[in-house]
Chains A and B, each alone.
Chain A
Amino acid sequence: MPESATEVDRLSLVIEIGCMAVRVHTTDPRFLAMLQERYAGFVFSSERAEIDLDVQLTPPNFPEADAPVRVTHHLGRWTLERGDFHAEWEPASRTGWIRQTANPYSIDAVLRIIHTLVLARQGGFLAHSASAIRNGKAFLFAGVSEAGKTTISRLAPTDATLLTDEISYVRKQGAGYVAYGTPFTGELAKLGENVSAPIHTLYLLAKGSENRIDPIPPGEATRSLLANLLFFAEDEELVQSTFHSAFEFVSRVPVSRLTFVPDARVWELIG
């Protein structure tokens, strides 16, 4: 463990996404530098952090490298596992650790999961959705792989601020919802801007032969939103929270289907 305050500062950084700061500790300066580059725009030197994560770098010797993600809760402690990492997080003490190799993908997955768990208790969520701000309003573009999230992001005009092309960060705030920029990227491989705005509309993407917006019945809107939420935990209470959060969101935010052809004119309908 480093002894001086200077060394501690050098070997830790704060990654703040959606107004939640996570301080990451490591003994490897090269790994720290990789994180600084990976999360550029979301890295702060702030002392304030809601969670402290200690990253323990190991050689690549995980026995089941292809094992899928598994998130379980027992006696106040979350266990997060995938083929390439093992992590634990205790909300009460606000501390946790990750055992992984020196790569940016494992910690990225752990951060997504932790944010999902925290947001679920606060009425928010992460969604498979691109998002952007235009004229002070945030718009979400949800859809599964190949639905057009990357395409709609790539077509965004210069007066639109891209929050993400892959994973939208949604917080409940007062009577509405706010979308935050995230460093969680998709095919565009471009980090979102670290800004936020009230959500005006959630669009469900569909590729078609013309640009058009159609209303969607609440039931279909809720089902579609639920299908696009990131959720990992095998935890009945959080499943219930997330389920009800989707209904709350649909009751407060307009949801429409956005059918579009892949050219920039679709943005004439948005904003």
Chain B
Amino acid sequence: MSRLYVARNPRVAARSLDGEMMIMSGRDSTLFTLNKTATILWQSADGTTPLDHIVEHRICTEFEVAPAEALQDAETLARELARHEILQISEEPIPPRSPLAGESR
């Protein structure tokens, strides 16, 4: 099974407020509010850390969940976020792209 890499799409607007991550698609202005797991995934999605590493070291340490189950859920979540162009996913490390305005909080 190949590794997956995830990266934040720099073309979205993102902001954290009281621990709640909100993201707006720059393409169609759709607003997303991420749950805790999705927020961890978003914040860890640097394009170079493999998804299984994020799950093992960031998600499984935060929630009581079996690693295999957590990885499967994380993959599903990553693909869903990628479908909305919030995340990019690849089987290769993802080089950084220049953001429009970047994330701020």
Contact = CB atoms under 8 A, between A and B. Distances in A.
B27 A217 contact: no
Interface residues of A, number: 18
Contact of A240 (B13, B20, B22, B28): B13
A247 B18 contact: no
B72 interface: no
Nearest to B26: A236
A246 to B, nearest CB: 9
A219 B22 contact: yes
Contacts of B31: 223, 226-227
B17 A218 contact: yes
Nearest to A250: B17
Contacts, number: 47
Interface residues of B, number: 18
Contact of B15 (A217, A227, A231, A243): A243
B24 A239 contact: yes
A226 B30 CA distance: 10
Contacts of A218: 17-18
A244 interface: yes
B39 to A, nearest CB: 12
A227 B32 CA distance: 12
